[in-house]
């Protein structure tokens, strides 16, 4: 079982490939569709995701796996082919978001804990049957006055570990996602401290829950200043501090780390990933698991019109290629201009 989980996890972080996060909840995708003037219906959501999964160049060359939402893993393409089969045909691995979202944490005002453990064993068995070979669970950690509290970190790390253990029991690779948010006015050094504390707590709980790290992928935030911080760190500083933090916290048994973009612009997320890989000498692969940073451009190009599908696929292929190069440390700003 561990060998098979390790094989899947290693394929998910293959050199030059990363993970497409297409697991937006109904609320989130409605917001994104509102921005491009498209009504969010079961049909428009399917059409949009189908155009991504049928983007042959992007999927085959640069996308190792796709995180799906419950609706999407059960949907068929317009011609009746299950969307999961389109992903598999492109050589990618289907995955599934299984958490039920961040809810207010009792006893810790303003903080949240991610829910979804009840009935998870049965849901994982169902998702495995539908073709999912990895899963995702996101914990949300906020930085603010007297935040995070140990209560919040401990509750979220414990839930991540229980989720990961259930995934591995079901033959599914867990993506463990503790996201320290970049909202707020905190400095990059405050982010470093909280990210280090969070990761150490998470790996301690994974150890207690007997989770095999060889069959686990970490999806962390980058170490970055809050959006409202007057001093924003340069690309090199973000890369160096993130790598230093990860080296201090993440065991080398983990096959790979796939970053979330967390509100960075498309190009920032790519530049930061590239700079980290240029540092080199890392015990694990560093790649991307981006949602908005891969999808903002194709969404805008598509705008709900069938005739725009080729343009949207070209925009998606470009962003996937740029991030694929960044995952090898081979990206440069000049390549953005060339496109």
Per-residue model confidence (pLDDT) at position 337: 78
pTM of the model: 0.96
Per-residue model confidence (pLDDT) at position 339: 58
Choice among 17, 97, 219, 241 that is catalytic: 219
Per-residue model confidence (pLDDT) at position 259: 98
pLDDT in tens, 289-315: 999 899 999 999 999 999 999 999 999
pLDDT in tens, 253-264: 999 999 999 889
Per-residue model confidence (pLDDT) at position 263: 87
Go through the domains of the chain in sequence order and give each one's CATH number. 2-338 (3.20.20.70)
Whether 177 is catalytic is yes
Per-residue model confidence (pLDDT) at position 246: 98
Whether 219 is catalytic is yes
Choice among 177, 179, 201, 241 that is catalytic: 177
**Residues in the chain where the model's pLDDT stays below 50:** none
Per-residue model confidence (pLDDT) at position 336: 87
Per-residue model confidence (pLDDT) at position 254: 98
Give CA–CA dist 269/323, Å, rounded.
8
């Amino acid at each position: 079982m561990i060998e098979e989980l390790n094989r899947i996890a290693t394929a998910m972080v293959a050199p030059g490939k990363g993970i497409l996060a297409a697991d937006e909840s109904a609320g989130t995708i409605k917001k994104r569709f509102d921005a491009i003037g498209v009504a969010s219906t079961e049909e428009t959501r399917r059409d949009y995701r189908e155009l991504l999964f049928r983007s042959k160049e992007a999927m085959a060359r640069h996308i190792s796996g796709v995180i799906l939402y419950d609706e999407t893993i059960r949907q068929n393409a317009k011609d009746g082919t299950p969307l999961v089969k389109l992903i598999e045909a492109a050589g990618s691995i289907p995955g599934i978001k299984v958490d039920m979202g961040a809810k207010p944490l009792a006893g810790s005002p303003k903080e949240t804990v991610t829910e979804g453990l009840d009935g998870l064993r049965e849901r994982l068995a169902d998702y495995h049957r539908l073709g999912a070979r990895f899963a995702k669970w996101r914990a949300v950690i906020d930085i603010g006055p007297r935040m995070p509290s140990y209560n919040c970190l401990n509750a979220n790390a414990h839930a991540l570990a229980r989720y990961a253990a259930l995934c591995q029991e079901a033959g599914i690779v867990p993506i463990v996602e503790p996201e320290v948010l970049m909202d707020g006015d905190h400095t990059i050094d405050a982010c470093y401290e909280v990210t280090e504390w969070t990761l150490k707590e998470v790996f301690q709980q994974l150890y207690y829950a007997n989770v095999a790290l060889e069959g686990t992928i970490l999806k962390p935030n980058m170490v970055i200043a809050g959006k409202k911080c007057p001093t924003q760190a340069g690309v090199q500083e973000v890369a160096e501090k993130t790598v230093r933090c990860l080296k201090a916290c993440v065991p080398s048994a983990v096959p790979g780390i796939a970053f979330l973009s967390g509100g960075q612009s498309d190009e920032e997320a790519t530049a930061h990933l590239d700079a980290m890989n240029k540092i080199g000498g890392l015990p694990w692969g560093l790649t991307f698991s981006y949602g908005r940073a891969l999808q903002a451009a194709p969404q805008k190009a598509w705008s709900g019109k069938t005739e725009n599908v080729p343009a949207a696929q070209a925009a998606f292929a470009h962003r996937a290629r740029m991030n694929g190069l960044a995952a090898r440390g081979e990206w440069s700003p000049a390549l953005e201009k060339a496109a």
